[in-house]
Amino acid sequence: MAAHHDLAPQALHDPSSLEEVQFLDHRIRFGPTQSGWVSFVARQGHRPTILLAPDRETLLIESHKLVERRSEGKG
């Protein structure tokens, strides 16, 4: 199994387009794929959760929801 930092270049259509934002205590790295968008959501020292969505806006909304659920202790 590849390390999570090796997944980004494989999943992204253009690895140089990878963006990153911090939200609460999580890092969200995301970018376009050939068929939509992918994000890697993780806290420091944890494996990322990978989310897929058809567009950037939906991906960011779902990534933020995931972080909020984790922060509330629901997932």
pLDDT digits (tens, 9 = 90+) for 21-59: 999 999 999 999 888 999 999 999 999 999 999 999 999
Provide the residue ranges of all domains of the chain, joining segments of one domain with +.
Answer: 4-71
60-70 pLDDT, tens per residue? 999 999 999 99
Question: In whole angstroms, what is the distance from residue 74 CA to residue 14 CA?
Answer: 33
**Least confident interval from 6-10, 16-20, 66-70:** 6-10
According to DSSP, the residues that pair with 53 across neighbouring strands are 37
Question: In whole angstroms, what is the distance from residue 61 CA to residue 59 CA?
Answer: 5
* Confidence (pLDDT) at 73: 84
* Confidence (pLDDT) at 10: 54
Question: In whole angstroms, what is the distance from residue 70 CA to residue 75 CA?
Answer: 5
